[in-house]
Amino acid sequence: MKDGWIKIACVTPPLRVADCTYNAEKIIELAAEAAANGAKLIVFPELCITGYTCGDLFLQETLLQGAETALCSILEQTKQWNAVIVTGLPFAHQGTLYNCAAVCYQGQILGMVPKQNLPNYSEFYEMRHFTPGPDARDMTHPLSLHTNPAVSFPFGAKQIFTCKQLPDFTFGVEICEDVWVGDTPSVTMAKSGASLLLNLSCSDEIIGKEDYRRTILKAKSGSLLCAYAYADAGFGESTQDMVFAGHNLILENGSILAESQLFTQGILYGEVDVQRLNGERRRSNTFCAAKPEEAAPVHYFSMEAEKTTLTRHIDPAPFVPSGSAELSQRCEKILTLQAMGLATRLRHIGCKTAVVGLSGGLDSTLALIVMVHAFQICGLDPAGMLAVTMPCFGTTDRTYQNACRLAQAYGATLREIPIQKSVRQHFTDIGQSEDVHDVTYENSQARERTQVLMDLANQNGGIVIGTGDLSELALGWATYNGDHMSMYAVNASIPKTLVRYLVAYEASQADSALRAILQDVLDTPVSPELLPPEKDGTIAQKTEELVGPYALHDFFLYYVLRMGFLPHKIYEMACLAFRGTYDTETILKWLKKFYWRFFSQQFKRSCLPDGPKVGSVTLSPRGDWRMPSDACVALWQKDLETL
């Protein structure tokens, strides 16, 4: 529960139709297992105390009293547990029978929720036995069980249940058909604050329904920015006319976290992040709270806050799709977005020349690749791509040769302009010793290169294409008014971990000669090459040794910007994601460094050139990130000091 993690269990128990005692025993048995495994919210199928397929037996008083007695047994057996149990049963009130979900916690019924949308078509005939339930706000007094009047509870659909100790842990309940209709109860409950929605279902299985069910639930959890737990009936329901497959699903904001195999029974677990969901809602101003007169009533319960042991996969590369097919499709789309952005700009200004500083490193290689695609879209002569290599004190033969070979392979016009003389003259002008390898020594080279590129663009009626990526912008790893500046920054929303995959994808589509060049670029250590190389001519200045591993920084970047998580939560997630790769001390060291650099370098991001947005995380001051350059990092540092 701490930090917003809630472990949910969706349970498909074996049952016997109309055998309430047996069914209650199985519900208690499986609920005990789920609670012992840390589940705080345990959901059972629709009408599982009696079975959904009882038919006209629902009109028998014996069955109804048996169901209530079984529910009292469940309450008694689970009253010491620190878990909410939601189970289905028929419930009669004032001569009317309802298909209900009982929300139980520590021997009490927090609320009884009736089904509102009763299917009465094809194989379903629920209107024969049940009545659509009223909204909870229409009920004026609590009800009680006929077999145990001492147990009283609120009754009605669209109730909200909130944990006092963790307000983000707020849930609502609907039943089966309620989610298949247009105006679902879940809309009101979500708008009233429910970040978790539960569905007790008995959905028969027919060809094609499995995929349709997934589609409906993914759309529902995505549009409502919620988690959705769907518990389905299976073995034991009557197969006189239907077959039930126990298709349980747990979803979070449009993605499936866990899913059971069809025709199985037992427990499906999933840990949902309600803190993330409420953060998404705060971020999206089109997610509107319910009007006071329409809001669902809220019932509070107290639950001891415990740390959730996470078993869900934490992706160490959140910017990179995991499947090879999806990765290829994503890379193709990203390159197209980048190229279309540049092509549109070139067409708008009537420009046939684009200038790029080609270092032989990853970022400038990707920028050249984007230029190639943009020129193809515009039908421009590739000779209009002016690739400029500007060797200086730190340039190695490997990167120099790769830059030259790349330009030639793509048909670009190659210009070599050594800048040693001009930089040395600048050192003389400002009184800088060439033997002092400080920030002035490094930045003088970067700014000289930018001046050359800008002036060449002026000479040739072109624009300078920026090469810096999103990770460098987040860390401030760019020379202000040096490589920090351009006329169109095609890589500005591409994190470093994704840059590598984009170049690799381009290599996979290229002929063997070009593929070999691109592969060598991929194998070259990331470096600005602003310090003299080693004696053997290899790169001496390796970026990740100075600012930290980009794999970690991109992970931090995603959860800081996209999710807004607390620093200690990001740290704990990183420890899980990178277990076996980085130790906890290394992760904490670079997380502290990330926050310090991110806050201190905002001034560089406040004046960025135009560039296309391709993902959900960007740092454009005009679009996605507005932050004062003198914001204080103290609160974030203080949170990390508690670890």
Catalytic residues: 46, 115, 176
* Other Cβ atoms closer than 10 A to 253: 21
What are 269's strand-pairing partners?
9
Separation of alpha carbons 188 and 298, rounded Å: 12
H/E stretch holding 102 reads: strand 96-105
Sign of CA dihedral 391, 512, 519, 369: positive
Q: CA dist 443 to 196, 418, 449, 483, Å?
A: 51, 16, 10, 9
Q: Which two tokens stand for residue 54?
A: 């009882």
Kindly give the interhelix angle for 496-509 and 512-523, rounded to the nearest 10 degrees: 160
Helices (H) and strands (E) in the chain, counts: 19, 20
Across 412-433, b (16+ Cβ under 10 Å) vs e yields bbbbeeebeebbeebbeeeebe
Separation of alpha carbons 438 and 456, rounded Å: 28
Separation of alpha carbons 1 and 166, rounded Å: 8
Q: Does residue 389 sit in helix, strand or coil?
A: strand
Q: CA dist 378 to 337, 353, 414, 462, Å?
A: 14, 12, 21, 15
Whether the CB-CB separation of 464 and 442 falls below 8 Å is answered with no
Separation of alpha carbons 19 and 242, rounded Å: 19
Separation of alpha carbons 103 and 158, rounded Å: 13
Q: Which two tokens stand for residue 277?
A: 């969901």
Rounded to 10 degrees, the C-alpha dihedral 104/105/108/113 comes to -30
- Residue 591 has phi, psi (to 5 degrees) of -65, -40
Q: Does residue 135 sit in helix, strand or coil?
A: strand
Q: CA dist 595 to 165, 546, 637, Å?
A: 29, 15, 8
Separation of alpha carbons 52 and 88, rounded Å: 9
